[in-house]
Amino acid sequence: MSDHARWMREAIWLGWEAMERKSGGPFGAVVVQDGKIVGRGSNQVTAKLDPTAHAEVMAIRAACQSLGRFELRGCQLYTSCEPCPMCLAAIYWARLDKIYYACTRRDAAEIGFDDAFIYEQLPLEIAARTLPMEQVARTESLALFAAWVVKPDKTTY
C-alpha cells in the first residue's frame, strides 16, 4: 500500500470513528510531515458545540501543537472530503504544502453537507451577500492597525 493510501485510510478511519462516537459528521483528516503523521482530527462539531471544529481544523490544531509552531510549511493534509471554505482558508493560513482529498464537495452535498452556498457567497460584493454586514468604528480600528505596524516586538505570520 502506498503512503498516500495509508494516510488517506487513516483520515477516513477518523471519520468513521467520529460518526460512531456521534461527535460530528463523517469527516477525518491527518497532517503529515516527512512521512509521519503529526496531527489527527475528526469532526467534533456536535461534541464540542463548536461549528468550527471540522476535521481539517482539528488536525491543523493538533499538528501545530505537536510541532510547536503556528504554521505548517513542509506538511501535507489528507482529508476524507474536499475542504469547506472555512477549512480551506485555515489550510492557507497554516501554509500547508498540499491537500489530498477523497470525496468531493458534491459528494458531501448529496448526504446533506452543502458547502456550495458558502462557496457561492464568497465572490459576491459585501452588499450582495445574504448575511448582512455593516462597517462600524473604522477610524478607531485603523489606529489599532497603525500601532501594529510600528510594534517592535510583534511576531509576524
Identity of the amino acid at 125: E
CA gap 134, 37 in Å, rounded: 42
Enumerate the H helices of 42-84 as residue ranges. Answer: 45-48, 55-67
Let me know if 56 is a catalytic residue. Answer: yes
Number of Cβ within a 10 Å radius of residue 126? 10
Q: What is the CA radius of gyration of the chain?
A: 18
CA gap 47, 22 in Å, rounded: 7
Q: Which of 10, 17, 20, 56 is catalytic?
A: 56
CA gap 58, 54 in Å, rounded: 6
Active site residues: 56
